[in-house]
Amino acid sequence: MTGEDRARFEALQARVREVAEAVRAYKSAGGEPSQPLYHYLRDHGFSNDEIWIYSPHIGGEVGADEPEWV
């Protein structure tokens, strides 16, 4: 891995940690979600890659209208 690759990867990891924070905020809001989680994350500026990489930690417990993989 080159230095440039490593820097890009570390930036990506930092963004994925931000996805985790956003998911926690979404879950802690309680009540009926105003929008599916996937759209919530996209509206908060996260890329599909960032959501993809965090997706194993999301599980199937939130929202009924998510893409199946979220």
Catalog residues that contact another protein under the rule CB under 8 A.
1-2, 4-6, 8-9, 12, 47-49, 52-56, 59-60, 67-69
- Closest distance of CB 24 from another protein, Å: 18
Longest dimension (CA), the chain: 46
Residue 48 beta carbon to another protein: minimum distance, rounded to whole angstroms: 4
User: CA 68, CA 28: separation in Å to the nearest integer?
Assistant: 22
Q: How far from chain centre, in Å, is Cα 44? A: 9
Q: How far is the CB of 34 from another protein (least distance, A)?
A: 23
CB nearer to another protein: give 20 or 29: 20
